[in-house]
Amino acid sequence: MAWYCSGSTNSELIENLSKTGLIKNERVKKAMLGVDRAHYAPSRAYSDSPQPIGHGATISAPHMHGHACEYLIDFLQPSSRVLDIGSGSGYLTHVLANLVSSPTTTQTGCQVIGIDHIPDLVELAHNNMRKSEQGREYLASGRVKFITADGRLGWNEGAPYDAIHVGAAAEQLHPILIDQLRAPGRMFIPVNAEGNQTAAGRGGGQYIWVVDKKEDGSVHKKKVFQVSYVPLTDYPRKQ
Ligand code: SAH
């Protein structure tokens, strides 16, 4: 059970996620150990639960960040380009940057772009990332870039992306996002189940979909597990 993974330090939390099998891949574990969640979560940073970050947004639970990285891992290589939609606190954007960074090779082209439509949250993500030397380097080098925009449209200027992560529940598998995937490429996206009329899209009716664009351009969609995310909305947010 995910909540039992909470720790009193960052490393204890990540070790617990690893011990329970919620994180399986060593690269994911290392990338998460490399980012102190206390720089991104304003309270209960090492609890395995979502925490409010203002504007109706939450930093997702650590096990959800772990799942997202596990599903995307094959598409997170040195030189990969990644789009993190609904970047919120910026935590996952930082972890994703760790995953496309290699200490041994000089990289060209790798970049993680975080998008959020709330300017205050984009500023928050910047400020959070500036709390570590590595984060400051990522911002200065342009390896990480935060943009204020409607994430439902993706970010065409940076496309194609090897991996797209969506951190808020979408109404549909936006075809424009699939267009911006590289072939091969993968998207991890929570989507409201058809007919889910619960308040603002919250509640039991959302599922993670993994969308693969194969080398030949064919698109394969798989519904993998049920989740509860804040919704991907118009700006200003409908509460
Ligand atoms: N991965 C983030 C999740 C933040 S919650 C984290 O763990 O910190 C979801 C985020 O999606 C919120 O920050 C919200 O502002 C953002 N969001 C909602 N609708 C959006 C839209 N249409 N475009 C871009 N971002 C959006």
**Sequence ranges of the domains in the chain:** 59-227
> Which of 3-12, 21-30, 41-50, 208-217 has the weakest average pLDDT?
3-12
59-227 topology per CATH: Rossmann fold (3.40.50)
Token pair listed for 100: 């496309």
Catalytic-role residue among 18, 47, 60, 89: 60
User: Is the pLDDT at 140 greater than 60, yes or no?
Assistant: yes
Q: Which residue has the higher pLDDT, 102 or 162?
A: 162
pLDDT on residue 201 = 45
The bridge status of strand 81-85 relative to strand 111-116 is parallel
CB-defined site of ligand 1, < 6 Å: 55, 57-60, 85-89, 91-92, 115-118, 121, 150-152, 167-168, 230, 232-233
Kindly list the distances between the CA atom of residue 166 and the CA atoms of 15, 69, 134, 137, in Å, as whole numbers in the listed order: 25, 12, 24, 24
Most confident range, picked from 46-55, 105-114, 198-207: 46-55
Ligand 1: nearest atom to the Cα of 121: 13
Name the residue of 69, 87, 126 whose CB sits within 8 Å of the most ligand 1 atoms, as the mutation to test its pocket: 87
User: What CA–CA distance (Å, rounded) separates 134 from 65?
Assistant: 19
Assess whether the previous peptide bond of 160 is cis (omega < 30° from 0).
Answer: yes
Task: Supply the residue whose CA is at minimum distance from atom 19 of ligand 1.
Answer: 232
User: Is the pLDDT at 103 greater than 80, yes or no?
Assistant: no
User: Is the pLDDT at 236 greater than 80, yes or no?
Assistant: no
Using a CB cutoff of 8 Å and minimum separation of 24, what contacts does 223-228 make?
224/71, 225/67, 227/64, 227/169, 227/190, 228/202, 228/203, 228/204
pTM of the predicted protein model: 0.94
Tell me how far the alpha carbon of residue 106 lies from the centroid of ligand 1, in angstroms.
Answer: 32
* 2 pLDDT tier (thresholds 50, 70, 90): low
Angle among Cα 78, 80, 84 to the nearest 5 degrees reads 125
Tell me how far the alpha carbon of residue 113 lies from the centroid of ligand 1, in angstroms.
Answer: 13
Tell me how far the alpha carbon of residue 225 lies from the centroid of ligand 1, in angstroms.
Answer: 20
Tell me how far the alpha carbon of residue 145 lies from the centroid of ligand 1, in angstroms.
Answer: 15
DSSP state letter for 152: G
- What percentage of the chain reaches a pLDDT higher than 70? 90
> Which of 2-6, 61-65, 132-136, 187-191 has the weakest average pLDDT?
2-6
Question: Does 49 participate in catalysis according to the annotation?
Answer: no
Task: Supply the residue whose CA is at minimum distance from atom 16 of ligand 1.
Answer: 86
User: Is the pLDDT at 81 greater than 50, yes or no?
Assistant: yes
